[in-house]
Amino acid sequence: MSIARIQPTVTAACVLSSTIKHHFNLTSLHLPTNHSAAFRRQRIKRNLTLSMSATSVPDPLEICVKASVTVPDKLGDCPFCQRVLLTLEEKNLPYDMKFVDLGNKPEWFLKLNAEGKVPVIKFEENWVSDSDVITQALEEKFPDPPLAIPPEKASV
């Protein structure tokens, strides 16, 4: 039995349809309404189960980032914060951003991170700092889509 899990998009459905047609040597494909079908080819019975469901969206991750010096409710010029935010965006992860004025660090922020550096993100009940550590943790916890450099492409 073959099981395929796909995101419910038009592109994915077309690719899956083409794959099924190729795999079973079919010219036309009509799936029943229950999305489960048995195909026959040369007296060989093959079962295909298709499960289409959107992945569950996790709760928004809390992240503290540098606030702009001129506009306190806007993102500041910190490339480390921007790197983590870009990673969250590329992985389509929801997040709740808290802006921190680094010139006048609030007491609640210093309780989370005694060093007073940004970005800081909350994983489960722990606050993690350092953009390298955060992006690595995001890659391990949410592997799709993969953003890490493949080992064969990496160089020293």
Q: Which position among 14, 64, 78, 81 bears the catalytic label?
A: 78
pLDDT of residue 65: 96
pLDDT of residue 77: 92
Structure tokens at 145: 């889509």
pLDDT of residue 14: 41
pLDDT of residue 148: 75
Identify whether 81 is a catalytic site residue. no
pLDDT at residue 49 tops 60:
no
In terms of C-beta distances under 8 Å and separation of at least 24 residues, what long-range contacts does 57-62 make, across chains too? Answer: 57/94, 58/93, 58/94, 59/94, 60/94, 60/95, 60/96, 61/88, 61/93, 61/94, 61/95, 61/96, 61/121, 61/122, 61/123, 62/95, 62/96, 62/98, 62/121, 62/122
Instruction: For residue range 66-125, list pLDDT tens digits in order.
Output: 999 998 789 999 999 999 999 999 999 999 999 999 999 999 999 988 899 999 999 888
pLDDT of residue 18: 42
pTM for this entry:
0.60
pLDDT at residue 20 tops 80:
no
CB 39 within 8 A of CB 46: yes
pLDDT at residue 138 tops 90:
yes
